[in-house]
Structure 1
Amino acid sequence: MTKHIPIEAASTCTAVSPSAVLDSAHLGEIRGAFGTIALDDRALRRTWKARLQTLLAIAGPGLIVMVGDNDAGAFGTYTQAGQNYGTTLLWTLLLLIPVLYVNQEMVVRLGAVTGVGHARLIFARFGKFWGAFSVADLFLLNALTLVTEFIGVSLALRYLGLPQIWGVIAAALIITLAVSTGDFRRFERFALVLVGGSLLLIPIALMLHPPLPQLTHDFFVPKMPEGAPLSDVMLLIIAIVGTTIAPWQLFFQQSYLIDKRITPRFIRYERWDLCIGIALVIIGAVAMIGFSAAAFAGRPEFGAYTDALGTAHGIEQAAGRLPAILFALALLDASIIGAAAVSLATAYAIGDVFAVAHSLHRKPSEAKGFYAVYAGLIAFAAALVVTPGMPLGLLTNAVQTLAGVLLPSATVFLLLLCNDKAVLGPWANGRAQNLFTGAIVAVLVLLSVILTASVLYPDIGEDWIVGILLGGGAGALLLSLIVMLVSRPRGEVREAAPPAVVSYGDPTEWRMQPLTALPAAHLSGLSRTWMVVLRGYLVLAAGLVLYRIAELVATKL
């Protein structure tokens, strides 16, 4: 039986260069769903056939994380956008494409170069407080997100006329067993079959045939729905952002990519895997908004969204039983892959932090803690959904709110890690990436503030929303200028020494050293200030949101 290896010894097990991998199962040949790449394979891929074979072997992490994000919550958000506002919000998806790529591409580099999961890196580079903060948030949010996945399973089964309780239990068992075989390739094939199932959304769109010229226009030309309250539209836009970019994605893709044993030599292919996944997500989202708009256009239900079950009935009335059945099957497929990915993200993070065996290459007897966390989360979520009288709608609202509150902090940590030269070396961010990602963080924080305010004060008006956007943007610029002025060195100005030139050699062979060998992380004054501000905001916002949720629960009892 292969034994788990500690951080300090991990570097001696790889033939490439010292690395910080925590589990010996993360070292060796790549055994993907559609091919194998030997550990010592350094052949140049000169032909299209060789490149395609390599891409097929590498493909998986990007596809699964992206399609997994089009889960039950995404079905609800996108179909709500189509039913309530037609296709007028399609342009938000276009704006999210570069955000998706930039965020997840940074995760690709972190995983391939470091060999260490996202949670462990946060612990090692920012200390125990922030590490515990991020993992506790992830655990809570993922547990609640799993509940929404099984709500999706329940709604799909209800439409198909199947028993919900036994169906939810069966889905939980399938999701658990698919991961617990001890064969990484077997799970990846299972997951990629579910990725293929997401294509069921395309024939549904063809059957309801929303006007293609209108789809194209609204995808490329931003506009707001006419006559709709700005506050309602803004909240839905925030929901679309939160649905498309979720914190669990960062933790899942980095750990799954490490578990697949992908190294810097194959980052280029993993980027293509990610691009294909993003394309599938956007196609699925456009299809859902498009066919929902077509199904409810001109009907009394337009503008009165209920849930995915209501969407299925609306599709049946508009185009017949077949597309509605396909929609229910697509929802079931999305909920299963979403549940598997979210649970794995948590199990990987816990295994990483506590340095216990955590790999799909291992059997349950070899990684008891890893599989126990995974199965426990699945069982918890399924049990909540089948419990009579459980306020599932309230839980769904809590998930969306907490995701909106916690998203900015996940992006901040990602940005700081990708600027850490000790972690990424030649793969660290450039200035353009930092500027773009910094702007993303600022926008996410402002959207998070609006979402939090709207939960606490449901009657918030348009003036307040505009005020938050303008005031928040101006405040961020002012605080940055103040910190830059305060941090500027005073007194005698000395000529700065030229920066030392660091030679990293071949970037495709460079990997991070074991964590214990890294120099201490250095944060600038501006970064420390923003960390403190972000910490204070998260504590205040999360506390207020939880108080509001508890208040709502009390009124229902």
Structure 2
Amino acid sequence: MTEADLKRSPASQSKKRGLGRILGRGIISGAADDDPSAIGTYASAGAQFGPAILWTAPVTLPMMFTVVYLSSKLGQVSGRGLFHAIRDFYPRWLLWSVLFGVVIGNTIEAAANLGGMAAAINILVPVPIPLIVVAVAAILLVIQVFGSYDLIRRIFRWLALTLLAYAGAAVLSKPDFLATFKGSFVPTVEFNKEFLSIVVAIIGTTLSAYLYTWQSNEEIEEEIAEGKATVEERKGASDDDLQKSSREILVGMTFSNLIMYFIILATGSTLHANGQTEIGTAAQAAEALKPIAGDAAGYLFAAGIVSVGFLAVPVMTTGAAYDLAQSFGIKGSLNAKAGRAPTFYIIIGLVTLIAVALNFLGFNPMRALVWSGIVQGFSTPPLLFLILLMTNNRQIMGDKVNSRAMNVLGCVTAAVIFAASAGLVVTWFL
């Protein structure tokens, strides 16, 4: 990687002052978490259970903050991405087993999101969906391969703000105040397969594994953009750096959580209230909203799906490339031009190609994503425990190991996820 590949960007040197600080790294991860597949899951939850399930948004916020902050801290202090750290400090069998699950999950989610984006674009522009899938994938690949990291980061930040369309859709749905207040602050739990399935799917999609790897790798990319090309140059972070990072991430996760809340509110106040409880895709939710809440609400819903998809799909395909490259010791960075890191960009292309191909196999990608969310609900606790082990390992973190409070929060998060998943299993047998 040459010095020309690692040019400093003014945005990096300014340490994100003003609006740049607000639109920081955390908000990109937060917006990517509200990808088209997540929108479909939240819309399905609202349609099935109405405002009564709004409480899941504030409950998942501290969990989201915990997992993303720990991933960010790992990247900042160790100077390594998540899989780079696993390769350097843990057995190979653990590396390969975690890698397999994360890369498969990223690829399936990217495929589902491409399908979801195409279906939403089809509402706005009546072009055959397969052509849209191919065109969107091609545009995203060109941006990743030929765009600079600074350009990609700036595009992602502004795309994140388009999710505010869901606040507009929620207002246009004219929600009932008392039902909204009760659903937000008085948890209602049903011990049946349908309810626990959607809760586990919500947890799985809000705590998707790609969030962990993306956040740690984004920290590395920011350091590389500042000229720190080696692990030794990147290692270490001050308390002030970590505090700034925690504030950025809290803003980002709160933003993500509010969007989740608005999506459930919009569909719960309209579709559920009108007896339309079965929603298979986010695009279907957008179409269903139009006759009930008006065309504006439906179009806002569809526009949100498209814009966040342009953010989320590259996060997943590039995330898979980061994980594979780090696991096999291949140098790769969005700061490097394609000619300097050809294998890294070839991996991005292959993952994108597989994601496109999955859309031509005839299965419903959004249905697959609900099941993927459930699977991630089961797989998240072990991965979170691994991150907790790593961020408490002085060989990796030095004197920046976790505080007792952060460890308690991490363990509680893992326990809650595991309990919800175990409850779902019990309903299968009963």
The 5-angstrom pairing of residues 519-538 of structure 1 reads: none
Query: What amino acid sits opposite 1:343 in the alignment?
Result: T
The 5-angstrom pairing of residues 490-529 of structure 1 reads: none
Residue of 25, 33, 36 corresponding to 1:61? 25
TM-aligned CA deviation for residue 450 of structure 1: 4.4
Name 1:423's counterpart in structure 2. Answer: 396
Q: Report which structure shows greater RCO (CA 8 Å, sep ≥6).
A: 2
Q: Deviations over 1:485-521 (max 9, x none)?
A: xxxxxxxxxxxxxxxxxxxxxxxxxxxxxxxxxxxxx
Name 1:134's counterpart in structure 2. Answer: 98
Query: What amino acid sits opposite 1:157 in the alignment?
Result: I
TM-aligned CA deviation for residue 107 of structure 1: 1.4
TM-aligned CA deviation for residue 391 of structure 1: 5.0
- Secondary structure of the structure 2 residue equivalent to 1:53: coil
The 5-angstrom pairing of residues 67-466 of structure 1 reads: 67-160=31-124, 161-224=126-189, 230-261=192-223, 264-265=237-238, 266-301=241-276, 303-385=277-359, 387=360, 389-390=362-363, 392=365, 395-451=368-424, 453=425, 460=428, 464=430
Q: Distance in 2 between matches of 1:98 and 1:350?
A: 29
Judge conservation of contact 1:36–1:57 (CA < 8 Å) in 2. Answer: no
TM-aligned CA deviation for residue 298 of structure 1: 3.9
Q: Distance in 2 between matches of 1:55 and 1:159?
A: 33
Query: What amino acid sits opposite 1:37 in the alignment?
Result: Q
- Secondary structure of the structure 2 residue equivalent to 1:306: coil
Query: What amino acid sits opposite 1:72 in the alignment?
Result: P
**The 10-residue stretch of structure 1 (210-219 or 354-363) with the greater mean CA deviation from structure 2:** 210-219
TM-aligned CA deviation for residue 241 of structure 1: 0.6
* Structure with max Cα Rg: 1
CA 1:124–1:289: 2 relative to 1, 3 Å? same
CA 1:209–1:398: 2 relative to 1, 3 Å? closer
CA 1:299–1:333: 2 relative to 1, 3 Å? same
Query: What amino acid sits opposite 2:421 in the alignment?
Result: S
Query: What amino acid sits opposite 1:233 in the alignment?
Result: F
Query: What amino acid sits opposite 2:78 in the alignment?
Result: T
Query: What amino acid sits opposite 2:398 in the alignment?
Result: G
Query: What amino acid sits opposite 1:272 in the alignment?
Result: R
- Secondary structure of the structure 2 residue equivalent to 1:427: coil
Q: Deviations over 1:463-494 (max 9, x none)?
A: x4xxxxxxxxxxxxxxxxxxxxxxxxxxxxxx
| TM-score normalised to structure 2 length | 0.89
Judge conservation of contact 1:316–1:323 (CA < 8 Å) in 2. Answer: yes
Judge conservation of contact 1:315–1:324 (CA < 8 Å) in 2. Answer: yes
Q: Which runs of 5+ in 2 are unaligned?
A: 227-235
Q: Distance in 1 between matches of 2:28 and 2:88?
A: 27
| TM-score normalised to structure 1 length | 0.70
Q: Distance in 2 between matches of 1:25 and 1:57?
A: 24
Runs of 4+ in 1 over 4 A off after TM superposition: none
**The 10-residue stretch of structure 1 (409-418 or 334-343) with the greater mean CA deviation from structure 2:** 334-343
The two structures, once aligned, show a CA RMSD in angstroms of: 2.4
TM-aligned CA deviation for residue 197 of structure 1: 1.4
- Higher helix proportion, which one? 2
Judge conservation of contact 1:184–1:360 (CA < 8 Å) in 2. Answer: yes
Q: Deviations over 1:171-224 (max 9, x none)?
A: 101211221125111111111121121111111112122134432332122123
Length, aligned pairs only: 416
Name 2:229's counterpart in structure 1. Answer: none
CA 1:212–1:280: 2 relative to 1, 3 Å? farther
Query: What amino acid sits opposite 1:242 in the alignment?
Result: G
Judge conservation of contact 2:392–2:401 (CA < 8 Å) in 1. Answer: yes
Q: Distance in 1 between matches of 2:194 and 2:413?
A: 22
Q: Which runs of 5+ in 1 are unaligned?
A: 4-23, 39-50, 465-557
TM-aligned CA deviation for residue 449 of structure 1: 3.8
TM-aligned CA deviation for residue 247 of structure 1: 1.1
Q: Identity of aligned pairs, percent?
A: 21
Judge conservation of contact 1:99–1:440 (CA < 8 Å) in 2. Answer: yes
